[in-house]
Structure 1
Amino acid sequence: MIGNETLRYFIKIVKNEKALSHKEKEILVARLQKKTLIKIGKKYKLTAERIRQIEENAVKKFLKKINQLFLFE
């Protein structure tokens, strides 16, 4: 389990990431806070599967950005 301080750090990074849309940020933060795909889906009137897809794409964007940062150091 992630500690509270680490969790707050990751949430801050996600919220400040410019490569992600507002919805992608909210979904990633909700998942970090252990909210279920179904619960998040109800908020956006989307299926759990669609939320999972958005989450997956957001993580890919995020990792791509991190990889780019490491390549240009």
Structure 2
Amino acid sequence: MRPLLILGIVLVVAGIIALVVPYIVFTDTRQVIDLGPLSVEAKEQRVIPIPAIAGIASVVAGLACLFMARRRA
């Protein structure tokens, strides 16, 4: 496959995923106290929002890449 076609497909898929999933959630574990055999860990849940404009821009850029790859062929 041509590289521009692959890039276009990846951008469109990533954009659709970004529009469907509005945020990414992950859990961060960090050690608070470490005194010999005593160890205390804290788990903190973090949320990273994905702006809708980023998903839309990715889809538009991917469609542009697909159009340019098809036009060159």
Report the TM-score when normalising by structure 2.
Answer: 0.41
Structure whose alpha-carbon radius of gyration is higher:
2
Q: Which has the higher contact order (CA 8 A, sep 6+)?
A: 2
Name whichever structure is richer in strand by fraction: 2
